[in-house]
Amino acid sequence: MKFMRYICIAVLSLLALACQQVEKTVALPADRVVAPVMNPHADIVVVEEELSNEVTFTWSAADYGYPAPVAYAVYCTYGDAVYQLGEAYATHYTTTKETLNNTLVAQTGLQLPADETSQIGIYVVASISDNKAEYDKRSNVVALNITTMESTAASWMRRRVYVPGAHQGWNPATAPVLWETGENSDVYAGPVLLATATDAEDCEFKFTTAPDWGAGANLGTDLDALVNDGGSGNLKTPAGLYWVEVTLTPDHSTGRATLTPIDCIGVIGTAIGGWGDADDVVMTLAGMPEEGDADYEAKFNAAVNAQIWEGVCENTLADEFKFRLNHAWVYSWGLDASGSLEHLSSNNGANIVSPYSGRVRFAIDFHGDIDALGNDPSNPSPVSAVVEQL
């Protein structure tokens, strides 16, 4: 009987513990979640002597009924305009007066007038899931005045994010790059083969904003919530070719990344047979070694880093063509106003005319000459092409 009593006590204890766990992990209904509350903030005056001074916005925690990992998007308003300053995973967000000023007066920010006092609003939106918008809870808006100054930011030069990882030997200096898509947009995009020379099922990688682990941002842990920390965890995805897009906050402290599978990087047009959905000539990553090739891994890594796709077409006509992804026009490249193959446009570019017929090699380069592009104040497109007779 004592044995049976002990069993009953153990079962009751486990049931009680299970109930406690359910209470801890079951979220409140969306309409009962308590939204965060912004705390008041003093007016801000930006002067040259105080540019490095920190500015911290604080708020109370959202209550989802259990200790959920909550992301807080921090927004600033000016009139009807709204701009996201950043994202935090605590109940505060800290930046400097210089960063805040430059963000707010920038043409890509809220376009506040420089050297004037303007009223802005600050609020946060709490979120626990990208797929449950009903659980996004917005705080109150706190109004304050900010006196700005001329931006200290240098003229825009197209920036880049590096993608080091197991696909290329974990070397940021030689890694594939994602180029900034627009002026100070902090959105970076490009194709990357995230696969290893050893044919592993998954590929681990990270993002950096400099070609060196010791400089710039070191972003990892979670694609939906990138963390800038040398100790952040590696990102992981099933091996494959992806269109990678990274969006960073202005201070590069956090961000998000999306990986869209690429089935085909192709060339299409009357030059190679037509403009139909089945007319794309599928291109392959240039420089990929044959199985059993000497220095296979080094050659594999070099090909991944170069980001050049090529295809050879037989019976080509001297006619028009363009490049595109996945047999569709969501992503495509043609000529810009200069009409040069050195800088292709992704903004509904014009058709490219090939002067060659017969056997022709087509290639598109998404990596570009970093030194030349990084010092060109005209900020041309980094995507280029080669068309040559064979």
In this predicted model, what pLDDT tens digit does every residue of 269-286 receive, in sequence order?
A: 999 999 998 899 999 999
Q: Tell me, rounded to whole angstroms, the distance of Cα 185 from its chain centroid.
A: 11
Q: What is the pLDDT of residue 180?
A: 95
pTM (predicted TM-score): 0.66
Please give the CATH topology (third level) of the domain spanning 265-389.
Answer: Immunoglobulin-like (2.60.40)
- Cα–Cα dist 158/218, whole Å: 19
Say if residue 358's pLDDT is above 90. yes
Select 30-147's CATH number: 3.40.640.10, 2.60.40.10, 2.40.10.10, 3.90.1010.10. 2.60.40.10
Q: What is the pLDDT of residue 277?
A: 86
Same topology for domains 30-147 and 160-261, yes or no?
yes
Residue 167 to residues 91, 195, 237, 281, 362, Cα–Cα distance (Å): 37, 5, 11, 25, 25
pLDDT range class, residue 131, cuts 50, 70, 90: low
Asked: is 160-261 a CATH 2.60.40.3620 domain? The reply is yes
pLDDT range class, residue 125, cuts 50, 70, 90: very high
Q: For the chain, what are the domain ranges?
A: 30-147, 160-261, 265-389
pLDDT range class, residue 67, cuts 50, 70, 90: confident
Residue 254: partners with Cβ closer than 8 Å, 6 or more residues away = 86, 87, 88, 89, 225, 226, 227, 228, 248
The residue-averaged pLDDT of 262-271 equals: 96
pLDDT range class, residue 184, cuts 50, 70, 90: confident
Please give the angle made by the CA atoms of 311, 313 and 317, to the nearest 5 degrees.
135
